[in-house]
Structure 1
Amino acid sequence: MALPEPQSATLEPEPELPELPEQPSPLSQQRLQESTPPGAAALPRSPGRAGRRAEPELRVLLTPLRAGRRLPQKRLLSGGGTGGKRLRLERPPERPTGTGPGSPADSGSDGAGDGDGDSDGSDAGDAARDGCSQLSAYERKRLKNITENAKFFAALKLHESAARLYQIASRKQPHVTKRAKPKKAEDEPVRRRSMRLQRVEPSGIPVPEPEAEELPRVPAGPVPMVPEDQESSKLTQELLATWMRISEMKADGTEKLTYDMKRYQDSLSSMVLSEENIRKVVKYRVCSMAIHPSQSVVLVAAGDKSGQVGLWNVDGESAGTCVFVPHSSMVSCMHFSPWHPAHLLSLSYDTLRCGDVTRAIFDEICRSEDDNFSSFDFLDDNGSTVVMGHWPGDVAVVDIRTPGTSPELSADIGFKRTRTVHVHPVNKQYFMAAGSVDVCIYDVRYLKSKGNKPVSSLKGHTKSVASAYFSPVTGNRVVTVCADDKLRVYDTSSLSSTLAALSTISHNCNTGRWLTRFRAVWDPKQERCFAVGSMARPRQVQLFRDTGALLHTFCNPDCLGSVCSINVLHPTRNILVGGNSSGRLHVFKE
């Protein structure tokens, strides 16, 4: 079957395009058509379906590159429209023989044989005037279109409009909705406040705000035993004379008594608190206490957080007190010397002093420039050597008889913090250190500067330990107070590498920042029992057995209304003294 002869290809007119900001002029269209090289026949369009117009084709003409010119540009030949465009690369007509770069035909004078001669005279004249005579017709047309478009957009003044809009937007303030304040109800009840909170005296006169008091710094060296604001007080002289008199008695000759439990319980019931046995001894919070071992007179010493040391003769006719200031910071530990009760040793952050009533002076035994001291205890019965704990975790051994203020030995025991140290009552070579979560027993004979290993470790503490003390007669028990709200008792009759708790007592130890931390102290008259402060109401001091049983509660709702954090018991008499955060001492006695 013979195929039909192909019809001659004709170039359909360009379809109408959507309206653009600037339509090319008829002259531009004519130049574009004339730029088509002669002999470039239009390809036939693909026949479409019935009722559908044939899709246009795109043709691209490649112009050969002359010497010194840019790469050839692709020439887009299209019948118009956007759908179904076809691209075809056309080679430009071959040059006649003998033509090439540098030949007269390539000089551009007549344009014969290259694609640059397809433009009319007007377009060539414009290109010559613009200095673009070496460009092809397509390139000249492209530059002209770019120039016309730039003029069109310049006529629209878009940059000026954008600048005006930006100024308007920047001047516009955001709309903020202000919330109306609620009106105070007129019938709202007024909260009542006491006159103490309003700082008003009962007479109605306002009390001025208290100013921060700057405490004077106590100088280094010996400090005279002169009471504060009582330099010529007759009462002070009488109290110091009483202290000297009772210290001359040989109290150490009396053996330590241990009552049976039935008799001991009866004696506890006879100890009561009365109004005359309450006295403010120091100005601020009580941080340490000591009781004189005399059996005839009850002499109590208390140290507060400001460095004051107060003395109170509880049995005196006038029941007077006197206050000294031998320290510049908190008095954390106090002891009457076991061999010389006329010596009262007190420890603050920076110094250890010995108050000698026979010479009326506070001697300086040891000093630290870093405020490191936390506690101390006697290493021998004659009170000549002490072991000291440091807040950073070290311990030191100090000989009171040695001149100077430096320790004889400083040892790193591996603690992060050492709060209390205590010496075994029988085996004086052993001492116990407590701090952080560590409670360990060490042998002072083997102490060295570093690498010290404990003889025994008391396990079970999960938070910081406030205190740890041996039982006073045999040292077979140890009681600790921990911040995890637990009191723990350990059996130390035989020292092993690790010791587990013999009994554990739940006890609220959350004293906060305004109260001194609790310290559990053994009763010298019954070493199986210890006393500790309590946060319970009514305010009380509790006494436990080593088994964990609560044996007795010291309280009086009419007289005791505060927490007694620090407590001390008399070695031979049925007396318990508790100190609170306002500097008051409460004496429970028969």
Structure 2
Amino acid sequence: MSDISDYELEREANIARNRELLAKLDFSVDLPSNPGKRKAQEKSSAKPVQPNKRTKREKEPVIPVRQSARLRRTTVILDESPGQRKRREKEEEELRKKEEEERLEAEEHAREAKRPRHHDLDLSVVADDLLPEDLSALRTTLQTLTQTAHPRRTASHDAFVFDTDKKEAEALTDLREKLGRLKVVARAKVTQDRVYSAAYHPDPTKDLIFFGDKHGQLGIWDARAPPDEAADEDGETSAASDGENGRHWAMQIHWPASSRSSISSIKFDPVNSHNVFTSSYDCTIRSLSFTSEISREIFSTDDVLISCIDLLPTGQEMWISDAVGGLTHLDLREDRSRARWYQVSEQKIGSVSINPRNPHFLVTASNNRAMKVWDTRRLENIPVQTLDDDLVEMKDFNQEIVEEHLSSAAGNNCLRADWRHNKSVSSAYWDPRGRSILSTSYDDTLRLWDIDSSLMARDTPFPSSRPFSHVQHNCQTGRWLTVFKAQWSPNPDCYPHFTVGNMEHSLDIFSCKGDLVTRLADRKKITAVQAVTCSHPSILERAASGNASGRCVLWAPLDL
């Protein structure tokens, strides 16, 4: 019996027939005797994608390992006299002490680099990474802003309250027409890390936007400034073509440069906008003066994260919210030690907003699912304590003391409203009229409340009512995106509206009634979620946004 299987016999027969057929066609091909092994294919003429050229790093010098004086002695001195030995031992002891001092000093410098900075800082210090010519341009820009005062403006409480639906529809149509023309006109990477906060400077001659990032860096973007010029090999200058628009500068306002120093909010001085206030997770609040070019700390806490700040229209008082459910009242005319702290929630308060028309009304948003309206005239009415027959004013009021005060006659009507959400409330803000409240919640809903002026004039709690408008909006940003916080346009001259980021990479604009005005998007230029938004305080057709990589966008008409 043959050892060759039927399959092998059939395969050999097929090969023989194929060769005979090719021979008849006068077509010579070398068929492999073993199909399992193929000849190597000829090299393709197409060049493969080349990797980026890497610059060869120079070898770093080897740092000598620290050794004691005893180990550095390579020879034994046999004929050393007692006097010589004492001198040598003294020199070795002095060298050892010097090395120990240097080591301790280096460790102290390392610890200092991780602590917040509480002293005054010059502009050249916070912007020490800038080139001299860039620092000079920044100084010029800031000094230009001080030439004109730009006070915060508010609208009448009954502004844009129409008698008929027809007039309101006309105002909404006009708003849609103007804001629908906004396009991407400028882009730049303003900060090194994720954008956490933003504020639009009110100067109408510029598009100057301030962005705060995750690592305590304050970026200033002059979005319509002429681009920097770069010199080529022949010495000729041309506009830089790196895909960025305008000019931007970065300053390390809060320290250390880590996630412990994220800038949670940015506010301009409401009187003249010549100062910018920033709050940070490093438990400090700093003020940068454009006039003196000095950054100074105006408030700090021991270990409580500061989530938000807001200033009264006078610019002399500030309210501060924190991560342990507290509100702090700070009078900027007094020493910071006189600040008073009230714990009004058992969980974090994410935002605090002052009513621009009635500054004694605050609205707070908390992780305990509550949005509350407070009358600070009653909140500040908590009685002082007496100690050893001397009148001592208490500075800290815990939740037990606050609740006891709310139930007393002195604290009656201090809490004007308590509106619950299905999940934690990310933010709540008054509009420029001091009439409407806008809240953003993790239950994927934007809510709008309208409060009549007659209710504010009464000394009674606001009636328990549902919001007049619910807007379904995806707010599930996750841990890698900044939390959505819908922001009112601060412009009092136009029909009230607000901006909010969208998980579909657009910038959404809604009216004060909850109607979608427009959805700004550009799939070719925008490929990330525009989580942080802001609008120009005096020009309607301006909006800005920032994403998780520090890249920012200016939206404006193309015929700018």
Q: 5+ residue gaps in structure 1? A: 1-199, 208-212
Aligned to 1:465: 425
Paired-residue identity, %: 25
Retained in 1: the 8 A contact 2:149–2:272? no
1:264 aligns with 2:175: yes
Retained in 1: the 8 A contact 2:154–2:356? no
CA deviation map 1:404-437 (0-9, x unaligned): x435211121342111000001001111111110
CA deviation map 1:250-270 (0-9, x unaligned): 333977698833332221022
- Residue type of the alignment partner of 1:484: D
For 1:543 and 1:231, the matched residues in 2 are separated by 36
Please identify which structure carries the higher helix content: 2
Judged with a 3 Å threshold, the aligned counterparts in structure 2 of structure 1 residues 203 and 263 are, in CA distance, closer, same or farther, namely same
Matches within 5 A, 1:311-460: 311-318=220-227, 319-328=246-255, 329-349=261-281, 350-379=283-312, 381-403=313-335, 405-406=336-337, 408-436=339-367, 437-447=369-379, 448=382, 449=397, 450-451=402-403, 453=406, 454-460=414-420
1:486 aligns with 2:445: yes
- DSSP-derived class of the 2:374 partner: strand
Aligned to 2:148: 249
- DSSP-derived class of the 1:422 partner: strand
The TM-score with structure 1 as length reference comes to 0.61
1:533 aligns with 2:444: no
1:235 aligns with 2:119: no
For 2:445 and 2:421, the matched residues in 1 are separated by 9
- Residue type of the alignment partner of 2:511: R
Aligned length: 380
For 2:434 and 2:273, the matched residues in 1 are separated by 23
For 2:222 and 2:305, the matched residues in 1 are separated by 32
Q: 5+ residue gaps in structure 2? A: 1-49, 58-109, 161-170, 228-245, 256-260, 383-396, 407-413, 457-461
Retained in 1: the 8 A contact 2:175–2:517? no
Judged with a 3 Å threshold, the aligned counterparts in structure 2 of structure 1 residues 588 and 477 are, in CA distance, closer, same or farther, namely same
- Residue type of the alignment partner of 1:372: L
Aligned to 1:181: none
For 1:552 and 1:586, the matched residues in 2 are separated by 17
Shift of 1:394: 0.9
Judged with a 3 Å threshold, the aligned counterparts in structure 2 of structure 1 residues 341 and 546 are, in CA distance, closer, same or farther, namely closer
Retained in 2: the 8 A contact 1:256–1:571? no
The 4+ residue runs of structure 1 with deviation greater than 6 A are 204-207
CA deviation map 1:187-223 (0-9, x unaligned): xxxxxxxxxxxxx96348999xxxxx99743321212
For 1:228 and 1:426, the matched residues in 2 are separated by 37
Shift of 1:547: 3.1
- Residue type of the alignment partner of 1:221: H
Of stretches 526-535 and 453-462 in structure 1, the one that deviates more from structure 2 is 453-462
For 2:54 and 2:496, the matched residues in 1 are separated by 54
Shift of 1:315: 2.2
- Residue type of the alignment partner of 1:385: E
Matches within 5 A, 1:3-402: 202-203=52-53, 216-226=114-124, 227-230=126-129, 232-252=131-151, 260-274=171-185, 277-318=186-227, 319-328=246-255, 329-349=261-281, 350-379=283-312, 381-402=313-334
Judged with a 3 Å threshold, the aligned counterparts in structure 2 of structure 1 residues 315 and 443 are, in CA distance, closer, same or farther, namely same
Aligned to 1:508: 474
Retained in 2: the 8 A contact 1:458–1:490? no
For 2:207 and 2:436, the matched residues in 1 are separated by 28
- DSSP-derived class of the 1:577 partner: strand
Judged with a 3 Å threshold, the aligned counterparts in structure 2 of structure 1 residues 333 and 458 are, in CA distance, closer, same or farther, namely same
Shift of 1:372: 2.7
For 2:436 and 2:469, the matched residues in 1 are separated by 11
Calculate the aligned-residue CA RMSD, in Å: 2.6
CA deviation map 1:487-524 (0-9, x unaligned): 11112223515332111111110000000000111123
Judged with a 3 Å threshold, the aligned counterparts in structure 2 of structure 1 residues 359 and 206 are, in CA distance, closer, same or farther, namely same
Retained in 1: the 8 A contact 2:426–2:484? yes
The TM-score with structure 2 as length reference comes to 0.64
Shift of 1:342: 1.4
For 2:445 and 2:154, the matched residues in 1 are separated by 33
Retained in 2: the 8 A contact 1:466–1:480? yes
Retained in 2: the 8 A contact 1:239–1:320? no
- Residue type of the alignment partner of 2:198: M
Retained in 1: the 8 A contact 2:360–2:377? yes
CA deviation map 1:291-344 (0-9, x unaligned): 111111111111111111111111222322111112131100001111131100
CA deviation map 1:133-180 (0-9, x unaligned): xxxxxxxxxxxxxxxxxxxxxxxxxxxxxxxxxxxxxxxxxxxxxxxx
Asked which structure has the greater CA Rg, the reply is 1
Shift of 1:455: 3.1
For 1:335 and 1:407, the matched residues in 2 are separated by 22
Shift of 1:235: 2.4
Aligned to 1:101: none
Judged with a 3 Å threshold, the aligned counterparts in structure 2 of structure 1 residues 253 and 429 are, in CA distance, closer, same or farther, namely closer
Retained in 2: the 8 A contact 1:458–1:499? no
For 2:330 and 2:300, the matched residues in 1 are separated by 11
- Residue type of the alignment partner of 1:225: L
Retained in 1: the 8 A contact 2:195–2:482? yes
For 1:255 and 1:478, the matched residues in 2 are separated by 15
- Residue type of the alignment partner of 1:428: P
Judged with a 3 Å threshold, the aligned counterparts in structure 2 of structure 1 residues 315 and 205 are, in CA distance, closer, same or farther, namely closer
For 2:290 and 2:151, the matched residues in 1 are separated by 19
1:477 aligns with 2:376: no
- DSSP-derived class of the 2:427 partner: strand
Match of 1:584 among 551, 557, 560: 551
For 1:471 and 1:295, the matched residues in 2 are separated by 21
Shift of 1:234: 1.6
Judged with a 3 Å threshold, the aligned counterparts in structure 2 of structure 1 residues 313 and 407 are, in CA distance, closer, same or farther, namely farther
For 1:398 and 1:467, the matched residues in 2 are separated by 21
- Residue type of the alignment partner of 1:463: K
Aligned to 1:29: none
For 2:495 and 2:320, the matched residues in 1 are separated by 24
Retained in 2: the 8 A contact 1:460–1:500? no
For 1:237 and 1:345, the matched residues in 2 are separated by 22
For 2:338 and 2:495, the matched residues in 1 are separated by 32
For 2:123 and 2:51, the matched residues in 1 are separated by 36
- Residue type of the alignment partner of 2:193: Y
